[in-house]
Amino acid sequence: MSATENCNLSAIPAALLAPDIPAGFDTAWSFLARTEPWVFGLMVDPVRELVVDDRKARTMLPCRTLPAPDVLREAGVEDVTVAPAAVWEVVFPVNP
């Protein structure tokens, strides 16, 4: 079984992986699902665990905020950061 097959993408609500975001932008969840999906298998609560990274990206430009999907609103998060891949590559550096 590959690392990608071992990830728990089913635990990530689809709204976090493919929300209604501008072309060329990603959320923390969609960026990791596209670039390192295996990392979700290491998380206990991937919905809440990436909120800190979402907020870190907010301090970088260019980024935008959009209303959070329902699953995050239920966790107390009102909005999410959407940013180009270059921003997420700084937030989530490539592992050697």
Instruction: Determine the distance from the C-alpha atom of residue 87 to the mean position of all C-alpha atoms in its chain, rounded to a whole number.
Output: 12
- Whole-model pTM? 0.74
CB atoms near residue 59 (< 10 Å): 10
Q: pLDDT by residue for the chain (96 residues), tens digit each?
A: 333 344 455 556 666 666 677 888 888 888 888 888 888 888 888 888 888 888 888 888 788 888 888 878 887 888 888 888 888 888 888 765
Strand residues in 1-96 grouped as ranges (E): 64-67, 79-82
| Residue 28, both tokens | 């923390």
